[in-house]
Amino acid sequence: MNARIYRLFFRLLNSLFILPAFRTGLGRIVSNPVTGRVMVLILKGRRTGRTRYTPVGYATMNGRIYCYRGGRSRGAWYLNLLAEPRLEIMLPEGRIRGCAEVVTDEEEKFTALRKILKNGGLSGLVYGFNPWTVEEGVLRERMRGVKVVRITPSSPIPRDR
């Protein structure tokens, strides 16, 4: 699919379906094993200072939340997060606050990335491999350059997913 059409499709899906579902407390409906685990990052725009809402796939491990910026995206949300790492998150179970940082440890990065892709439901297959069965070397090669973000909540999250 053309990258421009792909971005437009997800922009419409997010603004017309995902965000309204989370805002009305129906996040559990859109964040599930089939469609993928989704949360909404609530960030401050680095240039405008305005509040931005960004749905992303995620996984939790050891009391922390992980998400990633795909290699194909420009990642305005990622740049906003680098400028202001304190954020609020809408999880299917409710809102929490946290602080984000880029994962630099390669083992932690790829462990988290595999779990995020497994949690991605059908969208986890978008990179052309099955995240459940792909060999470690293939995962590392295909996902080279992808940035993984670790969010440490300021309050406990419900459970690892």
CA angle 67, 30, 60 (to 5 degrees): 30
Number of H helices, E strands in the chain: 6, 7
Q: N- to C-terminal Cα distance for the chain?
A: 30
pLDDT tens-place string over residues 49-103: 999 999 999 999 999 999 998 765 567 899 999 999 999 999 998 999 999 999 9
160 pLDDT above the threshold of 70: no
129 in any annotated domain:
yes
158 in any annotated domain:
no
User: Looking at residue 10, what is its pLDDT?
Assistant: 76
147 in any annotated domain:
yes
Kindly state the average pLDDT of the residues 27-44: 90
CATH number at residue 140: 2.30.110.10
159 in any annotated domain:
no
Q: Which pLDDT band, with edges at 50, 70 and 90, does 111 fall under?
A: very high
Is the full-model pTM beyond 0.85? yes
Domain that holds residue 60: 3-153
Q: Which pLDDT band, with edges at 50, 70 and 90, does 107 fall under?
A: very high
137 in any annotated domain:
yes
User: Looking at residue 64, what is its pLDDT?
Assistant: 96
Question: What's the rounded Cα separation, in Å, for the pair 26 and 92?
Answer: 7
Domain count, the chain: 1
pLDDT tens-place string over residues 121-150: 876 677 778 888 888 898 888 888 889 999
160 in any annotated domain:
no
